[in-house]
Structure 1
Amino acid sequence: MAKVYRLESSIVYDGDLSEEGIEQVKKLYSKDINNIILNSLGGEINLGMDLGEWIYDHKLDVTIKYAAFSSAANYIFPAGQKKFLYKNSFIGWHGGATQEPTTFYEKLFVKFILNDYIKRSKIREENYFKKINVNPKITTLGQQEVYKKYEIEYKGWTYSLDTLNKLGINDVVLIDGEWSPITEFEDAKLFVIETFD
């Protein structure tokens, strides 16, 4: 279970996304809280949007001290008014609600088991990114044909600061004056997308 606690004017969220963890964030919140310190490898996509939307509505900053991956990178990191990064902060993407299933079995699974869930999540994701003014391609850009060569060795991707900016991730504050993100964290290895047109 995630560790969620207050640290001065911040709430620390350390662990996988869960309903209980998000409820704890809301319970700890008070008007003098201005930041969420996030360390999470993600969780179910709607939980990511739940917390991201709450952060956005409360005009909070987000600090990635160690890692944000999957739904934490998709939806929580971009929601911050300001996004604080340390020199080695790990932020990784590997897909979202709009990604297309690729294998025969994935297609069957989505068609017969997840169909309604995926439809609802796609609509919600589209509305979410409109609200926070971020390009929804942020969750799927690394799945384009040009990056297929990375599929076997890498679990996802990260972006250069310039590319993040072009995707709508603005107001990034570099705590150490630079960002040289690590590209391996636990069992996740990332390739870097340097440019986006």
Structure 2
Amino acid sequence: MRITLFLSSCLLLAGAHAAEVKRVDARTIAFDGSITAGDAAKLAQAWAPGTTLLRVTSVGGSSEEAMIMGRFIHDKGLDIEIVRGCASSCANYMFPAARHKTITPGAILGYHGTGYLTELAGVDSLREDLLAGGMAPDEVKKQLPGLHDYVVRIARMEQEFTRYIGLNPQFYRDFKTVAEKGDALDKQYAAQKATFLWWPSARRLEQCYGIRNVNDQARPAALESTGHAFVTKGAFLLVGDQFLAGCGS
């Protein structure tokens, strides 16, 4: 189970189209798409006094941009509503920064790595992930030093981000345990080429990490009973909290 794919996949999204950011009504802004440079400025431009809700659908993208938006969401006291899904940097930084958080029926909340874990895994793991992602060996050799510097910078930003919004940094560390202990489960779904995602319960988010006011209308009941659920559309392997000890353990 790779724990660094999160950040290298974000780097490979550099050419992705930026999200559409638009005002829905007097209190609501919609954010739909991958997170790329400039999206924080779009969000700030769309905001106006009276805005209270950010409606989001995003697979993630730029960690740096997502943290900038997370700070903006925190500063403005915005609520967040996940429409179809919020994963990767969206889940890591935008979701926990909001005041009230709603995951609507049919939506997915998913974590699959952090800047902290990518830095912890080291240069060799980053190299392996870039190669696995399809980057040519010569290009990996050329890009790796700069990308590792980027990883270190993102990990430092992540630490500062936790302090800024009042988040327990263990939130960014626990996926390592989930990934390592879920390796056998992941292999069961290898033929489906499933994306392994951790979906923590609202209870754990509040009690362990200080992420409060989560209204989770979508989390599959199987995450409590069997510990995992496979979503055919999108090939997502969702796992719960069964691999983790209680808070402070």
> Does the TM-score normalized on the shorter chain lie above 0.5?
yes
Using the aligned pairs only, state the percent identity: 23
**Any idea what the Cα deviations from partners look like across 1:76-115, whole Å, max 9, x if unmatched?**
0001011122233310001111013379452587973423
Q: Could you tell me how far 1:179 is from its partner in structure 2?
A: 4.0
Q: Is the 8 A contact 2:123 2:148 kept in 1?
A: no
Unaligned runs of 5+ in 1: none
Return the match for 1:126 from 141, 144, 159. 159
Q: Could you tell me how far 1:196 is from its partner in structure 2?
A: 4.4
Superposition CA RMSD, Å = 2.5
Q: Is the 8 A contact 2:74 2:98 kept in 1?
A: yes
Match of 1:146 in 2: 181
Q: Could you tell me how far 1:139 is from its partner in structure 2?
A: 3.2
**Residues 179, 31 of structure 1: CA spacing in aligned structure 2 closer, same or farther, 3 A cutoff?**
same
Cα distance in 2, alignment partners of residues 48 and 79 from structure 1: 10
Cα distance in 2, alignment partners of residues 70 and 125 from structure 1: 13
More strand by proportion, 1 or 2? 1
Match of 1:52 in 2: 70
Q: Could you tell me how far 1:54 is from its partner in structure 2?
A: 0.8
Q: Could you tell me how far 1:56 is from its partner in structure 2?
A: 0.6
| Rg larger in structure | 2
Give the number of aligned pairs.
194
Secondary structure of the 2:215 match is strand
Cα distance in 1, alignment partners of residues 173 and 124 from structure 2: 19
In the superposition, the TM-score normalised over structure 1's length comes to: 0.85
Q: Could you tell me how far 1:186 is from its partner in structure 2?
A: 2.1
Cα distance in 1, alignment partners of residues 174 and 230 from structure 2: 17
Superposition pairs of residues 151-166 of structure 1, within 5 angstroms: 151-152=186-187, 153=189, 154-165=195-206, 166=208
**Residues 92, 25 of structure 1: CA spacing in aligned structure 2 closer, same or farther, 3 A cutoff?**
same
In the superposition, the TM-score normalised over structure 2's length comes to: 0.69
Unaligned runs of 5+ in 2: 1-16, 129-139, 190-194, 221-228
Superposition pairs of residues 107-122 of structure 1, within 5 angstroms: 112-122=145-155
Cα distance in 1, alignment partners of residues 235 and 123 from structure 2: 23
